[in-house]
Chain A
């Protein structure tokens, strides 16, 4: 099976031609830390971030669902409130812990990341306003729980629903980024967010992510409400610790079972180009561990009230390993999928660097890097570059003509230089002339001589034509 996948890689390599796949140059500055160090850090840092994202998204969904259930069974309303209180804390941690992986991904996949940003630019711009909105709504939801009751409960539910809906949508924008950056061969087809949804396997990954959020939140809540420090008698008197533990264990168990459907769906919809033996090993290894986690969860659910919870830490540890394995497998997929493209970028970057160095060398040694760069300055050229935009020969346009200047300065080229270094303003119909001291006396003198020369020639026939 492995060899079949590997056999597809050279076929993809053959597709990397300048026409099919855009191959940009990389930035000039070297990476500030070795590439292997970035590769080592990207998965753990990202998982730390996504852990709190999962709790935030899963928490918002579970708050909303429990609040609705609470309409009929009031104790679930109080449960929803306790879940909601964790969301606003987890969201802040999700944001700050997102900076680290963002830093690493900016460095490690510079070209791919920014390209994906630009290709889905409008969605990318919307991110910040959307996140600010959902955070403010989450606070509103949290701090109006006691006041928006009775006839106002509908309004409160509406806010909770909006929070859940926004938290469901926002990750899709990020997912589209990390998906788009993987497939440079599809970039030319991407015309914004919606077309980017169609490349790779965005939706299977998205469902995989939402399910992971719910499973993780279940596990987290079985700990959060089950721990000794939680004042359950005060906050949730209608529940017992064991009951809540079991409730959320069950939740985690069934969602994780569903992941055994979503997981393969993600895997088999992945474009082949990054699938290697290493990727298979990590992903299937992690999936096998996942079965062990399910077994432990099953035993916890059927444990007595007194003993339930004593397997929590082994479950949490194994669950982390599953996630780490999946994340690492995912990383190896990305590396393999991008390897040919990264190599092509490196070649092209090196090529440009040698062109650049060669050009600079030729300029320095005066070997003719092109006329524009090496030719000695002439009054004509300097005039064309700095003055001609405003000063025409005969017709006054944005400034006095050369003919007029000639009548004023015919015997006084130094006067032009003095004026140009710090111009005043004589004529109301023209704008203020900018100063040109930065050109230097020599260049200004060249220009002055040229101006008077042209001015004299243009003035001469006009004079001659006069009766």
Chain B
């Protein structure tokens, strides 16, 4: 209502954020959070054994991780913020007001993290004496801690969006931080980062060592054991999270009932966890016992499974928070729960700063309908691309010309049948204008169905 609307009708606005976020998390978890501790372990191991080969290997891998984390990794993190500012300014603006101090501390930790990353990489060769080398390992350990803390702080915000917990009553940062889904989520993401780092570093070993290099099988064995060691924690974390979600959903007044789609996805999560853990366990066991037995492409299997797992996890997380963008406070289209009755009584257009019309009438139905669509639907839906409303309506009403009254009824009641949808924040006239606009976008029915149906033709004979 209060910001000029940026809308991508083909890609969809959500997709813009999703692409940025998924790239970020796929780099953040295995590389920033998981790989730095593992690389530090390799370095420390080399120092302890007095074998420079370990150090050389760790340095080659850290170069790859350094380049990726300080470019794509760091920037996609900022990118989530920038794209959200564009697509859902009401949400990010409100989250910033709730989490200011969390964000501020996270910033300080992030500065330290990036400073430590650069110190760790750029001083590697210069810190050559045993004393300096120990210091260097200490830098690596500190860096690992800071990388984890940045993730730990941000995850609080993700949990908050799904279940705001006691915050809706007391509005305190503490309640917001320790929302019911925070710790279970962190308990899953932490070991996930560690075991995927194992897979990533393992994969790197093939590229930074020669086939007959004696360090290769020894490094693979160490990394395989690391990967294996984290697996039980992945299972425990995932189980805790999986158990917490429905409880948290039931507490959510508007979504008292788990939708079928949710139950399906929820069940799927456990299956993907099972497959991923099994595949990783088998491969890591072979790696630990016979490091030379596995060719590099076999690693792609657990890798793809792990990406699928995380993708599914994030998707379900996004699904769970619906219809809200901030649970119990603000709907995904930016309408605050408390302001909804005003819009349902007066309409949303009189309060929409940038709308071309201030009132929906039969005469301006198309223009008003378009404005209402942009204000109330366009944050999630397009008219022609990803998640487009026209296809959705075709699923319900088919390709015959839609009935105006049925559409109006559907618009006003869809939150009752589809609990992930926010209630329509407009009055009767606006629902009608929106229906008119949607009907104007309906694709003509295919030629076959406009012709008389065969049965009707037969009957006419």
Contact = CB atoms under 8 A, between A and B. Distances in A.
B100 A114 contact: no
Interface stretch (A6-14, A93-101, A246-254, A322-330): A93-101
Interface string A110-150: 11011101110100110110011001100100000000000
Which interface residue of A92, A114, A373 has the most chain B CB atoms within 10 A? Answer: A114
Interface stretch (A54-62, A256-264, A308-316, A384-392): A384-392
Contacts of B418: 434
Contacts of B344: 370, 372-373
Given A27-B93, A27-B97, A93-B114, A436 B339 contact: no
Contacts of B92: 106
Contacts of A1: none
Contact of B71 (A103, A132, A352): A132
B340 to A, nearest CB: 9
Which interface residue of A103, A128, A135 has the most chain B CB atoms within 10 A? Answer: A128
A25 B351 contact: yes
Given A33-B100, A136-B71, A352 B111 contact: no
A32 B118 CA distance: 33
Contacts of B103: 103
A355 B338 CA distance: 11
Interface in B92-117: 92-94, 96-98, 100-101, 103-104, 107, 110-111, 114-115, 117
Interface in B339-355: 339, 341-342, 344-345, 351, 353-354
A457 interface: no
Contacts of A113: 85
A89 interface: yes
Given A111-B3, A128-B75, A356-B342, A435 B97 contact: no
Q: Is the interface of B mostly helix, strand, loop or mixed?
A: helix
A342 to B, nearest CB: 14
A385 B416 contact: yes
A414 interface: no
A159 interface: no
Interface in A158-199: 187
Contacts of A373: 341, 344-345
Contact of A92 (B70, B260, B396): B70
Given A97-B111, A139-B71, A434-B417, A30 B97 contact: yes
A284 to B, nearest CB: 34
A61 B6 CA distance: 34
Closest 9 CB pairs of A and B: A385-B413, A114-B89, A24-B2, A32-B100, A121-B6, A128-B79, A370-B345, A389-B410, A29-B97
23 contacts: A24-B2, A24-B3, A27-B93, A32-B97, A96-B111, A97-B111, A107-B100, A110-B93, A114-B3, A114-B86, A121-B86, A124-B85, A128-B78, A128-B83, A132-B72, A356-B339, A372-B345, A385-B409, A388-B409, A397-B398, A398-B398, A434-B260, A434-B418
Given A96-B74, A437-B256, 10 more contacts: A25-B1, A117-B6, A125-B86, A135-B75, A187-B4, A369-B341, A370-B341, A372-B344, A398-B398, A431-B395
Interface of B: 1-6, 16, 20, 67, 70-72, 74-76, 78-79, 81-83, 85-86, 89-90, 92-94, 96-98, 100-101, 103-104, 107, 110-111, 114-115, 117-118, 122, 173, 254-257, 259-260, 336, 338-339, 341-342, 344-345, 351, 353-354, 395-398, 406, 409-410, 412-414, 416-419, 427-428
